[in-house]
């Protein structure tokens, strides 16, 4: 009996044979903004017909630092929009740190500078973004799968942490169900090279569809988590980082797409900021 290879395995076979991956989707053309930081407006292509254009940020944790910010911890009377967070923190890049209740209480583990910000571990969600390790020689940022990876809450091995849904594990298993529900999505992924990818869809899509797309088209992704969805799905790249302003096929400015000016913002109780080391 012949064995059918998975799309991820086929992608790896094509790479080893020197065949370009254009048949699986459009390659990501990165625009470097600083050492360790690049962006792209990525169209997954025919391999992912249900996944819209994606804003992508490639981060090298060896060259940049991640920081969690929560409005209660910073004694702000109410949550801020992502632009207000940028002005307050001065970070070069910001994205929403996860899901929260109607009263803005964070859902899942949340740590800043090694301190728990009071939220409890979510029993079902197994994705955990961590950064800034306590021990030297440890990878500076990762996506952990709490179903197999340990995280000691009383003595956290990382100073910054934010919990959400596991999307795609290291075995290529999609960890969300087909629900048919569509929303804006923000994905945080760890690559085999140790980089962190932040992906935000420009339009509505289902979590299962983007998980399948990442697995099939981006074989270097080791595992990924669904950081956020809906109207709070937000990313921002500071205008000061841009050297050139590329255009999409629709003549839209990349700089404008990443500034947040193309969508309405809602207040965010928690964000993760990125700054150059």
**Secondary structure (DSSP) of 59-119:** E-TTTEEEEEEETTTTT-SS-B-HHHHHHHH--SEEEE---B-TT--B-S-EEETTEE-SP
Q: pLDDT per residue over 253-265, tens digit each?
A: 999 999 866 566 7
Residues 6 or more apart whose Cβ sits within 8 Å of residue 84? none
The interaxial angle of helices 207-217 and 7-16, nearest 10 deg, is: 30
In angstroms, the CA 136 to CA 128 distance is 20
61, 227, 68: which is closest to 141 by C-alpha?
61
Q: pLDDT per residue over 23-56, tens digit each?
A: 334 578 899 999 999 999 999 988 899 999 999 9
In angstroms, the CA 213 to CA 8 distance is 10
Q: Would 2 be classed as within a structural domain? A: no
- pLDDT band, residue 15 (cuts 50/70/90): very low
Output the pLDDT for position 195: 98
Average pLDDT over residues 124-128: 95
Per-residue pLDDT for 232 more than 90? Answer: no
Output the pLDDT for position 20: 34
In the structure encoding, which two tokens stand for residue 61, read together? 């944790």
- pLDDT band, residue 113 (cuts 50/70/90): very high
pTM for this prediction: 0.88
Q: In 169-206, which positions are buried (b, 16+ CB within 10 angstroms) versus exposed (e)? A: beeeebbbeeeeebbbbbbbbbbeeebbbbbbbbeebb
Output the pLDDT for position 6: 42
Please name every residue paired with 221 in a beta bridge, in sequence order, or none if there are none. Answer: 191
Contact between 60 and 38 (Cβ < 8 Å): no
Average pLDDT, the chain: 88
Q: Would 86 be classed as within a structural domain? A: yes
Q: Would 175 be classed as within a structural domain? A: yes
Residues 6 or more apart whose Cβ sits within 8 Å of residue 268? 79, 80, 81, 82, 85, 96, 97, 232, 234
Output the pLDDT for position 264: 65
Lowest mean pLDDT among 42-56, 150-164, 238-252: 238-252
Q: Would 245 be classed as within a structural domain? A: yes
Output the pLDDT for position 16: 37
Q: Would 154 be classed as within a structural domain? A: yes
Per-residue pLDDT for 5 more than 80? Answer: no
Residue 21's SS3 state is helix
Count of domains forming the chain: 1
Q: Would 261 be classed as within a structural domain? A: yes
Output the pLDDT for position 229: 77
Output the pLDDT for position 180: 81
How, if at all, do strands 196-201 and 54-59 pair?
Answer: antiparallel
Output the pLDDT for position 260: 67
Q: Which domain holds residue 176?
A: 7-276
Q: pLDDT per residue over 160-211, tens digit each?
A: 999 999 999 999 999 999 988 899 999 999 999 999 999 999 999 999 999 9
Q: Would 152 be classed as within a structural domain? A: yes
Q: Would 1 be classed as within a structural domain? A: no
198, 208, 186, 188: which is closest to 268 by C-alpha?
186
- pLDDT band, residue 14 (cuts 50/70/90): very low
Which H/E stretch holds residue 198? strand 196-201
């Amino acid at each position: 009996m012949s064995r059918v290879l998975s799309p991820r395995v086929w992608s790896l076979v094509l790479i080893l044979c020197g065949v370009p991956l254009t048949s699986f989707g459009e390659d990501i053309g990165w625009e470097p903004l600083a050492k360790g930081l690049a962006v792209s407006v990525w169209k997954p292509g025919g391999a992912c017909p249900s996944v819209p254009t994606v804003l992508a940020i490639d981060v090298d944790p060896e060259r940049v630092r991640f920081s969690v910010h929560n409005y209660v911890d910073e004694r702000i009377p109410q949550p801020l929009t992502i632009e207000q967070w940028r002005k307050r923190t001065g970070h070069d890049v910001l994205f929403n740190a996860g899901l929260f209740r109607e009263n803005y209480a964070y859902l899942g583990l949340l740590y800043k500078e090694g301190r728990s910000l009071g939220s409890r571990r979510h029993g079902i969600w197994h994705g955990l973004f961590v950064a800034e390790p306590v021990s030297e020689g440890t990878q500076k940022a990762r996506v952990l799968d709490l179903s197999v990876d340990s995280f000691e809450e009383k003595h956290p091995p990382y100073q910054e942490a934010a919990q959400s849904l596991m999307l795609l594990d290291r075995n290529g298993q999609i960890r969300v169900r087909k629900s048919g529900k569509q929303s804006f999505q923000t994905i945080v992924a760890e690559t085999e090279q140790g980089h962190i990818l932040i992906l935000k869809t420009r339009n509505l899509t289902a979590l299962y569809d983007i998980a399948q797309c990442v697995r099939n088209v981006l074989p270097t992704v080791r595992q990924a988590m669904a950081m956020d969805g809906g109207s709070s799905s937000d990313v921002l790249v500071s205008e000061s980082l841009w050297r050139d302003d590329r255009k999409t096929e629709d003549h839209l400015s990349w700089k404008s797409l990443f500034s947040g000016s193309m969508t309405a913002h809602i207040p965010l109780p928690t964000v993760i900021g990125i700054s150059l080391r």
